[in-house]
Amino acid sequence: MKTWLITGASSGLGRLMSERLLARGDRVLACIRREQAMADLQQTYGEQLQIVALDLAQTDRIAPTIADAFKAVERIDVVVSNAAYGLFGAAEELSDAQIDRQIATNLTGSIQLIRAVIPLLRQQGGGRIAQISSEGGQVAYPNFSLYHASKWGIEGFVEAVRQEVASFGIDFLLVEPGPTATNFATGLDIADALEVYRDNASGQLRRAILSGDFTIAGDAGKCVTAMIETLDKPSMPLRLALGSTAYQHIEAALESRLAELRAQRDVAFGADV
């Protein structure tokens, strides 16, 4: 039996993952904002499911709350940093408050969670951290600039920290789902539209999202299965792309970036001393 700590466990991929893990006999520490949001599962699984009240936007509460969670169990094998949401709108359309909340939840909250669990994992001899990112950690859509900023940011953070803590037996997995049938779209924080963007790429994507015409190919259940199977393996990749959309978009982006880089080789080398 493994013990998992999962943030954002009350909905979406976090909820599905919790359900699967509990059903197979693992223990779950579910970090959620509303303590009653998983009352049904707690009634079914009892002490196998422990509720941890935590809002990642309240960064000063993360470290003490996580420390108490670790004290309550002998060991936490896997920490899943899943809590996040999408902010939608052209950069000019977003308010300062919307931007601050997006960065606080998706980026600063995830960073502080990882910082809080590292010494605890180190003290117990290691463990794994799964950071739920997105294909949006490597590619970009119009109207998701701040969401991408948070995901590109957390991926860079994880790449660096992974090197710092590998010798302690701590490993990371960046999970990069493409558009997936969860409640992500219904939970979007949508900025008020400016008329000037109506007929460009921003306006086109806004209409596709709000009308339901935006293609969503990913299956949430299959994504969760792949995540658990990967985290159960003796060794893991750093990144796990999930869904055909994610794979195709990331592959195209990497190929384009590599081609552009190689075309600049002489310029790059020419800048040396």
Q: Which of 11, 18, 81, 133 is catalytic?
A: 133
State both tokens at 175: 């999970």
**Is 147 considered catalytic here?**
yes
Q: Which of 45, 141, 150, 151 is catalytic?
A: 151
Q: Could you tell me the strand order of the sheet in which 3-7 lies? A: 49-53, 27-32, 3-7, 78-81, 127-132, 170-177, 239-242
Q: What is the pLDDT of residues 27-81, one digit of tens each?
A: 999 999 887 889 999 999 999 999 999 988 888 999 999 999 999 998 999 999 9
Residue 215 confidence (pLDDT) above 80: no
Residue 184 confidence (pLDDT) above 90: no
The whole-model pTM stands at 0.93
Q: Which of 147, 150, 197, 202 is catalytic?
A: 147
For the chain, what are the domain ranges? Answer: 3-243
Q: Sort strands 3-7 and 27-32 into parallel, antiparallel or unpaired.
A: parallel
- What H or E segment, with its residue span, contains residue 170? strand 170-177
**Is 197 considered catalytic here?**
no
CATH superfamily name and code, 3-243: NAD(P)-binding Rossmann-like Domain (3.40.50.720)
**Is 151 considered catalytic here?**
yes
Judge contact between 219 and 184, C-beta under 8 A: no
Q: What is the pLDDT of residues 9-22, one digit of tens each?
A: 988 899 999 999 99
